Amino acid sequence: MRQLNVLIACEFSGTVRNAFRKLGHNAFSCDLEPSDDDSPYHHRGDVRNLLTAYQWDLLIAHPPCTYLTLAGNRWFKPEYAERFPTRIQDRQDGVDFFMELMNANIPHICVENPIGVMSSIFRKPDQIIQPWQFGDPFQKSTCLWLKDLPQLEHTKVVDKGEFFEWTDKKTGKVKRQAQWYMDALIGKSSYERQKIRNKTFQGIADAIADQYSQYIISKK
């Protein structure tokens, strides 16, 4: 089987990188944070310095969603302007970084993010997937923007997992959130919560590695 050169941008868990390496591919992750598993196949630094440093076949990117997700839209209201004076520029920087990854000179690209502003600023995602479609009983809507890649085929549809419900004191509306996400908020630091939320579920990582690599190799 042909070995692909794969760059995983903005990943410190190594989940996607390791899924590709298990299939025999030359995969490397890159992030400003060190790798969780101290892997020699991780580069700590700005991924933009690597985009043209090597002849990559495939880029899988997980750009930060802090300023792009719809969940953070409330902080852009005028009443928060003094509290977060740089937030508008922070969002623009996030958009620019997302687009730099999407427009990289690499033949096959997948950029992942939650539901957010890129659907209107850029375009609608090519696919929205859930962990429970790939064997992990959890709910987490994940958008994929693709360049010369197919939509992922579901590998194992399972239960969506548990949910936590509560009544909003201000609106009186019942709200619902995945239990795994709520558990990630309790008793953990901001940094720990971020790492839990950012990790790619194993079933999705395996599907990405298997299906995308097969597609690219079949084209050659």
pLDDT at residue 92 in the model: 86
Highest mean pLDDT among 18-22, 51-55, 112-116, 170-174: 18-22
pLDDT exceeds 60 at position 75: no
Residue 180 has pLDDT above 80, yes or no: no
pLDDT digits (tens, 9 = 90+) for 113-161: 998 889 999 999 999 999 999 999 988 999 999 999 999 999 999 998 7
CB-based contact 116:65 (threshold 8 Å): yes
CA distance readout (Å), 28 to 15, 50, 70, 73, 104: 11, 10, 30, 33, 16
- Degrees to nearest 5, angle at CA 63 with 54 and 184: 130
Answer yes or no: are the C-beta atoms of 121 and 109 closer than 8 Å.
no
Looking only at the bridges linking them, the beta strands covering 174-178 and 42-44 are unpaired
Report pTM.
0.87
Domains of the chain: 5-156+199-219 (3.40.50.150)
What pLDDT sits at residue 185? 64
